[in-house]
Structure 1
């Protein structure tokens, strides 16, 4: 399952569901000041772009524009069945720290079950051309008219 975890993690790295990442509101009266002197007043919303963080070669390693399904497997990240849900400062698909998504364990297990079902029971043809993504309320989702060619297998492997 570690290879499948790597595939899931790499897919979420390249196409994060929430492109805006962690959004926070300044609650301190007067607000903090950035290292370069910019004052962030109370009520200001700050966010970290997940896609920018995930495309940094110093963080993700290698050619970050290229989809490498075994990127995290080769890096030896995690063991067992937890690599896809691990959070770090360089991987923000599920947030970070005490605010990390508590449902990430359930979500990744559902993804694994769905993928296992599809891969065992269906022949799936790749796209001639990769479909694009569209932004919807801060989330990046496949375009609505995206179609996949699938055929149910007569013999299940």
Structure 2
């Protein structure tokens, strides 16, 4: 059940706002993959998602720790950054499967480095530069993802 949606984001505030909009739509867990070059806005988008679930502190990229957990009132949000992952098997040693419960929100930057150790996403999102703006493209890969994309289109 593939659906897609794309939008242009004028600046950092628009990128955060789009993350918050996605968080407002999600009623139960989701796996979200984020693709894009360094600096394309993946962590900025994730900040919006985490804030959308009620986090008020800083949201930083877990480049060296691989995962940053946010245990919030509405949901547990886990932000993964696999950029520095040497071998996907390292994920098995850190207990990666424990994070991906049906109720958890898992946002994964650089998912291609996770191989078979991370589940298929509900949403596959790509951020890219178009001039001074960013373009964000959502593709659903599950029923849950399709429902999110359908609500974004409204």
TM score, norm. by length of structure 1: 0.26
Larger radius of gyration: 1
Higher share of residues assigned strand: 2
TM score, norm. by length of structure 2: 0.26
